Structure 1
Amino acid sequence: MSPKDREAIEAAVREAEARTRGEIYCVVAQAASDYREVVLAWAAGVALLAPALLLAGGVQISAPDLTGGWTAAQVGDVASRAARAALTGAILLQAALFLVTALVVALPPVRRALTPKALKRHRVREKAQEQFLSRNLRATRERTGVLIFVAVDERMAEIVADEGIASAVGPEVWTRAMAALVEGLKRGEPAAGFAAAVGLCGDVLAEHFPLRADNPDELPDSLVELPRG
């Protein structure tokens, strides 16, 4: 976010809160999670393919012909060595596949592409809830705090409303604000998306908690930017 973007978002929050007793708080994170388990999952999954690759490559375990004068002990010894060699090859191939896959999937663009969308959505929701609690949005006088949270890498957003406003409206009322926010992210204009979402959230708050004389500003209006964890 540029200084101009931050100023635009802060101005949008001030303008929205000038119409309501509600409080709007904006947080942007570069990513909601590092998704380390995705790297391990893909590496382990690919490594499990090693036995199938060996079979596809024609690797076989064979025992000597019993009609050729071999003793049972010799046959057992040769078969045991062949089995150990095949098992060792499989283990080494699995280790190589695990390492190479882990190194490739660890690259941020690859990891993001291979992370299931459902997991991204879950982590974004978790991070938004975490920020809602840690930023004291539950401490407003009328429980009217609304958090607008964006995870840039995931290009996902979440709106969390405190019980004062959440009990007065259904979750569907935030749909337009979410859509405006996500559209701004997709266009590469997060500040415009934030400003539009803030205005729409302000409309909802103003309808149910209109401005009155006693209206302290309980939360900062400035955008909070979280460093990459």
Structure 2
Amino acid sequence: MDPLFTDDERERIRLAVAEAETRTAGEIVPYVVRQSGDYDVATWRAASAGALLAGTLALAVAWLNDGWGWGWLYSAWALALVMAGGGVLGAFLTLLDPVRRALAGAERLDTAVHRRSAVAFLEEEVFDTRDRTGILLFVSLFEHRIEVVGDAGINAKVEQHEWEEVVDLIRTGIRGQSLADGLVAAIEKCGDLLHRRGVAVRPDDTDELPDDVRVRDE
């Protein structure tokens, strides 16, 4: 599987985090996954719809045909074969990401991403900072979802809607075929926002969490 970032891009992201954290006590953790769930339900939905559609079409053809050429469709085995073929074709269509997303449904995608971001928050110990000032920038590529998850010290000073520009910067980078550019811009914006909101650096502040981007291929 192709890497999401080159070594140069990883270094640019790391430096962006390090620079942003010179202006704020916030600990920024960029985290990217290829997808947050399996969505097997999409395959079953597509297979069922394909089988039903194929069976309906087969019966319609047999009913409308006046000759002998399509008489075989009246047999049970033929109808079963046609429906099985339709089901297989429907299942294969879910190999296309847009089809799989559509059949999984927006609510299921939202739930999967929210749960995966919570796992990432715990996995990377974003909560384990002195003043609870960790912040997770979570990007789930398959679902086209981005979440900003702040710890208690962040949420006390920054309203959730204020992260919209950060999310938009990441989204713009992805649309421009450069996730790294989007993350760097978003990290810089995070630093500005946290500094402006008074998440100030203490004299004895230390770098409590690694600055590198985390990438998971699951």
> TM-score per shorter chain, which class?
0.7 to 0.9
Q: Is the counterpart of residue 223 in structure 1 residue 213 in structure 2?
A: yes
1:181-220 maps to which residues of 2 (within 5 A)? 181-206=170-195, 207-220=197-210
Partner of 2:101: 115
The 1:113–1:104 alpha-carbon spacing in structure 2 relative to 1, beyond 3 Å, is: closer
Match of 1:124 among 113, 136, 151: 113
Contact 1:155 1:186 in 2 (8 A): no
1:14-163 maps to which residues of 2 (within 5 A)? 14-59=18-63, 86-105=75-94, 107=95, 110-116=96-102, 118=106, 119-163=108-152
Deviation for aligned residue 1:27: 0.9
Deviation for aligned residue 1:55: 2.7
Q: Distance in 1 between matches of 2:78 and 2:212?
A: 59
What TM-score, normalized to structure 2? 0.83
Partner of 2:154: 165
Q: Distance in 1 between matches of 2:99 and 2:48?
A: 18
Partner of 2:167: 178
The 1:130–1:88 alpha-carbon spacing in structure 2 relative to 1, beyond 3 Å, is: same
Partner deviation per Cα, 1:125-160 (whole Å, 9 max, x = no partner): 332222112111112221111101122344432211
Match of 2:7 among 3, 9, 14: 3
Indicate the larger mover: 35-44 or 46-55: 46-55
Partner of 2:67: none
Partner deviation per Cα, 1:187-217 (whole Å, 9 max, x = no partner): 0111111111111111222232111212121
The 1:135–1:24 alpha-carbon spacing in structure 2 relative to 1, beyond 3 Å, is: same
Q: Secondary structure at the match of 1:212?
A: coil
Over alpha carbons, which structure has the higher Rg? 1
Deviation for aligned residue 1:86: 4.2
Q: Secondary structure at the match of 1:157?
A: strand
What TM-score, normalized to structure 1? 0.79
Q: Distance in 1 between matches of 2:27 and 2:110?
A: 25
Uncovered stretches (5+) of structure 2, i.e. residues with no partner: 65-73
Aligned-pair RMSD on alpha carbons?
2.2
Deviation for aligned residue 1:162: 1.1
Q: Secondary structure at the match of 2:135?
A: strand
